[in-house]
Amino acid sequence: MAETTVLFRARVPQKRLRNAEKVLSKLGLKPSDAFNMLLAQIELKESVPFMLTTHNEPLLTAQEQAGEWTKSLGEY
């Protein structure tokens, strides 16, 4: 039996939606697909799947970025 769905409507700035649609289109996705993925991640993690903060995170220097890449991917 098919799962029951509901219609969810939200107001978003037109320019934001257009810009997001361009990116999602390159991935073969629609905004509704992205929204469903967001909700699935919230459901799985029982939390928002990214950090929410009012504090700016400091950017890594080029050397710090290189160190993180090496740590994650190994030497090349």
CB 31 within 8 A of CB 17: yes
User: Considering the chain, what is the average pLDDT of its residues?
Assistant: 92
- Per the domain annotation, does 72 fall within a domain? no
- Per the domain annotation, does 40 fall within a domain? yes
pLDDT value of position 55: 86
Continuous segment of H or E residues that includes residue 55: none
pLDDT in tens, 13-50: 999 999 999 999 999 999 999 999 999 999 999 999 98
CB 59 within 8 A of CB 68: no
- Per the domain annotation, does 67 fall within a domain? no
- Per the domain annotation, does 62 fall within a domain? no
> 31: how many CB neighbours lie within 10 A of its CB?
14
The number of domains in the chain is: 1
CA angle 45, 51, 48 (to 5 degrees): 30
pLDDT value of position 56: 85
Is the predicted pLDDT of residue 11 greater than 90, yes or no? yes
Domain that holds residue 27: 11-51
Is the predicted pLDDT of residue 58 greater than 90, yes or no? no
